[in-house]
Amino acid sequence: MIKIGAVALLLVAGSASAQSHLDRAMQSKTLVVCTTGDYKPYTYLRTDGSYEGIDISLVQSLAKSLGAEVKWVPTTWKTLTPDFIGKQCDVALGGVSVTLKRQQTAWFAEPLDTDGKIPLVRCADKKKYRSVEQMNKPSVRLIEPAGGTNEAFVHAYLPQANLTLFHDNVTIFQQLVDKKADVMITDASEALYQQKRYPSLCAINPEKPLQYGEKAWMLPRDDISWKMYVDQWLHLSKATGEYQQIVAQWLAVKS
């Protein structure tokens, strides 16, 4: 029969044997990062194979603090969680929304910012698609990328609308411009960024989203040492102004 003290020692030994992602990153000098590369202004995969965006610049700063280089692991919104777990990423990022579903299998770092779902529409139609009641109709053509929280919102709140799932989250906005779709539900941050790139598109009520949301990085579950380090790094990044400078560089872009 095993005594309580022996059980406690076994538990401690078991915990010690599970190496933190913090130690692994410092020892290997590699930070393994999952990202979709299709969600400006957070993450975007250039044609030359390199990444850019708010979260990209931030995680490169995190890697530098560890004396590490980033190893990018491509993923999609549909496969984000299984890829994050199966490919043993240290972080998953790129405009990731905090959800209870994701929280069941991963932890989140402290939120980067608050956000929320809003309609992105042609400016000529901005009075037509302001509320759930106006959009939840078979005559309204919705378009969303497959597998993310935008699609989940539409299924939950706009089940009567005519939904098309689009294969490319980079060129999807042109579908609105070309009048092949009427509305895209997305995060206010993305809508505000894209309306600068497409003058004919308007973000509807970004200050009053239809659904509250937060952006944060996914972290491996039950690794408290790694979470504490990432949270402290983020706190210092905001306190020193580095975070604000990176965000301003992207949200000020007009093209």
| pTM across the whole model | 0.81
Q: Is the pLDDT of residue 127 over 60?
A: yes
Please answer whether residues 168 and 15 qualify as being in contact, where contact means their C-beta atoms are separated by less than 8 angstroms. no
Q: Is residue 97 part of a domain?
A: yes
Positive or negative: CA dihedral 133, 131, 100, 168: positive
Same domain, 126 and 94: no
- Provide the pLDDT for residue 169: 87
For the chain, what is the domain count? 2
The alpha-carbon radius of gyration of the chain (Å, integer) is 20
- First-last CA distance in the chain: 71
pLDDT digits (tens, 9 = 90+) for 65-116: 999 999 999 999 999 999 999 999 999 999 999 999 999 999 999 999 999 9
Q: Is the pLDDT of residue 9 over 60?
A: no
Mean pLDDT, the chain, as a whole number? 91
Residue position matching structure tokens 């933190």 = 20
Q: Is 24 exposed, middle or buried (0-12, 13-18, 19+ CB in 10 A)?
A: middle
> 146: domain range?
115-210
The mean per-residue pLDDT over the stretch 250-254 comes to 60
| Element (DSSP H or E) covering residue 183 | strand 183-187
Beta bridge partners of 113: 215
Q: How confident is the model at residue 5 (pLDDT cuts 50, 70, 90)?
A: low
Same domain, 104 and 224: yes
Residue 155 sits at the vertex; the CA angle it makes with 193 and 202, to the nearest 5 degrees, is 25
Q: Is residue 89 part of a domain?
A: yes
Write out the two tokens for 82: 């299984």
Q: Is residue 2 part of a domain?
A: no
Q: For position 67, which CATH number holds? A: 3.40.190.10
H-helix segments, 107-187:
132-135, 149-157, 172-177
Q: Is residue 12 part of a domain?
A: no
Same domain, 181 and 234: no
Same domain, 169 and 151: yes
The amino acid that residue 138 corresponds to is P
The amino acid that residue 20 corresponds to is S
